Amino acid sequence: MSALNMDCEQRGDIDSVFGWIANLCNKETRLWAMLELFERRSNIDSLGLLLWHSFGASHRICTAIGLIQAMAAHPFIGIQLIRCQFMCYLMPLLKMTSQTRAVEHVRLSVLGVICGLLKSDHPEIVSYFLGTELIPLTLRQLEFGTTMSKVLCAFVLYRTLEHEVGLKFASRRLARRLHLIHTLARVVHQLTLEPEPRVLKHVVRIYSRLADHPQNLELVLKLLPAQIRNGYFCQEVLVGFESASLELADLNRKLSKREEKDKACDDTMPENH
């Protein structure tokens, strides 16, 4: 802040800078204040910091992104947002690691836009996101984020893998498969300590989808947490994931078929004498 004070005091307009920022909250003076700040943006080194911490900044950002979410949810407009590379402006916001309320609101707003886009089921949208850092960013939030971030990230990850191009992408490299499956295992462990059925629902569906790919199936069999296979999550009805017993049973059937196939192969192999 000392550098800012020195810079502004030399021009004698420090009070004007704060005044213009305050005027952003007044619809009658907002346009004029924006023009004044815009013209002086190169001379105020900490303008970005001041704007971010000004009253209502994150609220206005979230409101703007919320309107974008409304456009993203429309199948025609959503694909236009992708084709004009608009998401390049929003994706970097997911890299913010701060867990303050303001940052979390922005993060959730961006995830809401991504969820809206993926709901359109357009393969071009999935392909676009595969070219970004969406999967590693959602995996990080799935493990370390707030409850709502985890719910949205689990949905984003499942919708991405639901498409054949997404499943192939996630299965292409061993390091990628290991990162994904190890993260899911840690999330399952967290869910045993702090249950959240909405997250569990998508995690189970992600496991089931991964099991549709032969290379993933092998790793899932080796690294699947015991809680998924031993009925731990079926001991009571989970509000928000009422179909838990059915979906877990379906996943275990996929795994059992592979185990039976492997056993049959072992039994037919000739013994070495």
Q: Which pLDDT score, from 0 to 100, does residue 273 have?
A: 45
Nearest partner of 107 among 82, 135, 85, 138, judged by Cα:
138
Task: Report, as ranges of residue numbers, the positions in the chain whose pLDDT lies below 50.
Answer: 1, 3, 6, 8, 10, 273
Each as own residue / partner, the long-range contacts of residues 211-216 (CB below 8 Å, 24 or more positions apart, any chain) are: 211/251, 211/254, 211/255, 211/258, 212/167, 212/254, 213/167, 213/168, 213/171, 215/171, 215/177, 216/170, 216/171, 216/177, 216/181
Q: Which pLDDT score, from 0 to 100, does residue 271 have?
A: 60
Q: List, for residues 215-243, the tens digit of each pLDDT value.
A: 899 999 999 999 998 888 988 888 999 99
Flag whether the pTM goes above 0.85: no
Q: What is the DSSP code (8-state) at residue 265? A: H
Q: List, for residues 31-62, the tens digit of each pLDDT value.
A: 888 888 888 777 777 777 777 667 667 777 88
Q: Which pLDDT score, from 0 to 100, does residue 8 have?
A: 45
Q: Which pLDDT score, from 0 to 100, does residue 32 have?
A: 85
Q: Which pLDDT score, from 0 to 100, does residue 10 have?
A: 47
In the chain the domains, ranked by start, together with CATH numbers, are 1-55 (no CATH), 58-132 (no CATH), 133-265 (1.25.10.10)
